[in-house]
Amino acid sequence: MADKPAPNNLQAEIEVDAPPAAVWALVSDLPAMARWSPQTFRTFLRGSGKGAKMININKAGWRIWPTTSMVKDFEPDKRLMFKVRENKARWSYDLEPLDGGTRTRIVETRDVADGTSSISHFLVDKFFGGNTNFETVLKADMHRTLQRIKAEVEAS
């Protein structure tokens, strides 16, 4: 059997004309993620802050799949990170104040340094055209997510 390609860590960032607290109000509202993320259809949240659990319904074209995750880092106005149980990916949003705190850099990261699950490799290969194609779409979706967050926070 051929070796499976190792998934890559992915990152996208954007600068927003709003202070970190205003950005945090959006980023930390996990059920609202469906407004911004092209792949998130719906999020159900149980609990709040570190240890909160989520059930996510994801959608890409005709493909729909659920995932479960838990918030692992929750530092108001700074960092939110959750880990997806099914594929072991860690997703984070890091906020960095700019210009004395009047603006914010948002960095979204998908960290798969510990690898992903066998089922994830199988599904990406069979239903998403392989790892390279999947990550290309994912990276573009990360940029879209950040652009939508920027537009919403700057409009308010």
Give the ranges where 7-117 is alpha helix by DSSP (H). Answer: 20-27
Tens digit of each residue's pLDDT (9 = 90 or more) over 28-41: 999 999 999 999 99
Instruction: Examine residue 3 and state whether it is found in any structural domain, yes or no.
Output: no
Distance (Å, rounded) from C-alpha 15 to C-alpha 44?
28
Looking at the whole model, is its pTM more than 0.75?
A: yes
Q: Which domain holds residue 149?
A: 18-155
Residue with tokens 């573009």: 140
Instruction: Examine residue 12 and state whether it is found in any structural domain, yes or no.
Output: no
Instruction: Examine residue 91 and state whether it is found in any structural domain, yes or no.
Output: yes
Domain count, the chain: 1
pLDDT higher than 50, residue 136: yes
Instruction: Examine residue 77 and state whether it is found in any structural domain, yes or no.
Output: yes
- Would you place residue 156 in the very low, low, confident or very high pLDDT band (cuts 50, 70, 90)? confident
Contacts of 118 by beta carbon, 8 Å cutoff, 6+ apart: none
Better-scored residue on pLDDT, 130 or 79: 79
Annotate 20-59 with b (16+ C-beta within 10 A) or e (fewer): bebbbebbbebebbbebbbbbbebebeeeeeebebebebe
CATH number of the domain that 90 lies in?
A: 3.30.530.20
Instruction: Examine residue 57 and state whether it is found in any structural domain, yes or no.
Output: yes
Tens digit of each residue's pLDDT (9 = 90 or more) over 80-98: 999 999 989 999 999 999 9
Instruction: Examine residue 6 and state whether it is found in any structural domain, yes or no.
Output: no
Q: Give me the amino acid identity at 83.
A: K
